[in-house]
Amino acid sequence: MPTSGSSRRAFIKTMGVVAAAATCGAAAAKAQEYKPQVQKKLTHAAARYQDHPNGNEACGTCPYFIFPKSCAVVEDEISPSGWCPIYTTFAPADRGAHK
């Protein structure tokens, strides 16, 4: 029994929709399963932290410093007058931004 062109097109469209729905459903399931890991902070040694400033650069003026004695990147207590090579004057959102 011959199949008409319109029936064949309808079948192909239906199969395309079914395939797309199956793919999106799998992607949605994976997205729901995704749980970001908590970023671990660096140790003082790994960050090469020192408890004194480097010239005019000190933790207290870095955007990663969290008042009164901690850092978003380095674990344990941080002195506002300490320093490490991660020091920056740019806000984290501004680093590497291009306009």
pTM over 0.85: no
| Ordered DSSP codes for 37-92 | PPPPPBPHHHHT-BSS-BTTB-GGGSTTEETTTEESSB-S---TT-B-TT--SS-G
pLDDT > 70 in the chain, percent: 63
Query: Is the same domain home to 41 and 89?
Result: yes
Q: Average pLDDT, stretch 35-52? A: 90
How many domains would you assign to the chain?
A: 2
Q: Check pLDDT > 80 for residue 52.
A: yes
Burial class of residue 37, CB neighbours in 10 A (0-12, 13-18, 19+) = exposed
For the stretch 6-39, pLDDT in tens is 687 777 777 666 666 655 555 555 656 767 677 8
Burial class of residue 29, CB neighbours in 10 A (0-12, 13-18, 19+) = exposed
| Mean predicted lDDT score pLDDT of the chain | 79
Give the pLDDT of residue 75: 95
Query: Is the same domain home to 29 and 60?
Result: no
Domain that holds residue 54: 36-99
Query: Is the same domain home to 95 and 50?
Result: yes
Query: Is the same domain home to 15 and 54?
Result: no
